[in-house]
Every structure is written in C-alpha cells, then in structure tokens.
Amino acid sequence: MTDSPQEFHLNITNPDDSVVELLANAAKLSKQEVKQAMQKGCVWLQRGSSTNRLRRAKKALKAGDIVHMYYNPQVLAQVVADAILIDDQQSFSVWYKPYGMLCQGSKWSDHTTINRFAETHLQPQRPAFIVHRLDRATSGLIVVAHTKAAVQQLTKAFEQRSTSKTYQAIVHGNHSLMAQPQTINIDIDSKSAISHVTCLAYDGDRDRSLVQVKIETGRKHQIRKHLAGIGLPIVGDRLHGEEESRCTGKDLQLCAVYLKIPCPTTANSSNQHKEYYLPDANKLKL
C-alpha cells in the first residue's frame, strides 16, 4: 500500500459481502487497518440519494450501494491533544478546544474534530453538531449542540450576534502605547469588521503584549488580520504578518476565553443566558 492518498469506489452487487473484506482487498490493507480507517471517518456509504460516513464494520449492505474510501495515511496518522469538557447541559456542551483540533472534517477523516471528540467522549453518547467555529490554530471555548432544537437556536443566536465572545492574544510589540481600549475598524473582504483591543500586560524583555480582544463582527481571521494591520501580529501567526526574522516556532497565541450564549434549554432562551470563562490553567501565559 502506497503512502500517497488513494480513493476506492466499490459498487455493491452482493448484499452478503463484507465491507471490511471488500475494502481490505481493494486497498491491500489488513482488516484491522480498514476498521481503524472506518472509525476515523474516511469510509462513506452511498445509498440512493444519501451519503454518510460508515463506521460499523458489520453494517449490512444492499445491492446498489456504493462504498467510498478516501485513504490518506498522513491524514489518518494526525494526532491532536484532547479537548476538555467545561460544561454538559445534555442538549449542548461547552469545551476547551486545543490548538490543532478542527471544527469541520473532510472526506478524508473527521477524527481530529471537536464534534467527533464530543461524540466519542460524552456519556451518555449522543450526536454532536457544530454551531460556530474556531480556526484550527485558535484554542479556547466552543459550544457543541446535541439536539436539532439546540442546533437551530444556537445557530440563530450566532448569526444574529446575540452571543458574546472575548479572546486573548499574545502579540509582538507594545500595545500599551495605543489608546486603551483601541477600536479597530478595518474592513475584511470588503465587509465591516470591528474589534476592541485592550492591553492586559507588557513584557519589555521580549517586547510582547498580552491583549484582550472583543469582537462585534465575526469575519474570517478577523483578530489575526486586525492585529497584524496595526503592526502587532500575533505570536505564531505566519499567515498574517509575523516576519521570518522573529519566527518563534510557537503555536498561534490566540485563545477564546469568554463565551456568553442564549440557553436553548429554557422555554424563552432569549431572556436566559449562560456565561463561560476559560479556566486560568488553559489561558495564554505571557
């Protein structure tokens, strides 16, 4: 079996066939390797107009099914730190998402996503749905929904901006020299974007600042672009402003530390909110 990505698409004609045996023969893998790949989310079952991930090794097949496997050894070998459960309200849960954990899987896998982690670690087990996102490189608080009603209510809340989020970041430079708090109004992708930045501490020896950022809008990479735009790029951000001469080798130093959401477990969730603060042990250290 080559280490390069490969795709396999198997048309099922005999419903008595074993999906594990079929994939093992097609991909030249052991049955155990196929089972592990299935658990990591790279195998899909297409039945009629529906296509879903296939994880059960003993799933009964039907004639006319199509089994897809998107096998990339490098992707399947990826490992991230565990998420930490902050609160479980049954219909939704709040987690600390570590650096590197994704909010969305791909056809190649979903084993390093926060929703898959929640599905496999919560008791009792239940489905998990993303209602807002943090970048792969951003750590911090994230809420995951577990019922259709919670998905609808929380998604609407984030879309209508009836939630509140606060971040902390470590940046290159001395932000205490700026107006406090500093409001940044720099459009992103021709759309209005507003961030409010406050300096919490400054380390003169390393010329770095710990800042708090409250955002009114949620544009892609908004905080990273805004801080880089005022000449204070986030430590570890090679995508938006960190110069090669001061590359640190550190992970992106950006973390969501506060989250306020309408509570979907109450009859009138618009009048009931829950607030979450990231434990100090998981916050950034200057």
Active site residues: 135
Where does residue 241 fall: left (phi above 0), alpha (psi -120 to 50 degrees), or beta otherwise? Answer: left
Sheet holding 43-47, edge to edge: 6-11, 66-71, 43-47, 50-53
d(CA 188, CA 240): 13
| Residue 198 main-chain phi, psi, to 5 deg | -130, 135
Strands 66-71, 6-11: pairing kind? antiparallel
**8 A C-beta contact, residue 11 and residue 66:** yes
SS3 92: strand
